[in-house]
Amino acid sequence: MLPVFDSSVKEVLSGARNEEFNGVLQELHGHDIILAGIESDVCIYQTAMDLLGQDFTVHVAADAVSSRTDSNKQLGLERMLLEGVVQTSVEMVLFELQGVATGDRFRKLAKLVK
């Protein structure tokens, strides 16, 4: 199970400026980060920029972020893409993590996204 950071405990706009968040990142020893959440133009954007600055490869699930307005969501996504964030979707992430098109887990996943 992948860890999920509870943003309700953060006191900064960028999750990457939070000790708990950074502790989880250190434990994972990963290089790729997938972001989802609210305020793509504020919190998601600032988190992405800070993570890029720490040499992570940052992915944003475009269908799993939002903002107060659609134009703010789109602006946040566009700015992230210009800075080097990789745009993806929840379905793409799920199947990339799955990796194979066989087995019970694959069948459950395929049923879930239909």
pLDDT tens digits, residue range 46-73? Answer: 999 999 999 999 999 999 999 999 999 9
Instruction: Kindly state the average pLDDT of the residues 7-13.
Output: 69
Tokens of residue 103, six digits: 């087995």
pLDDT the model gives residue 114: 84
pTM of the model: 0.85
pLDDT in tens, 32-52: 999 999 999 999 999 999 999
Mean pLDDT of 81-88: 98
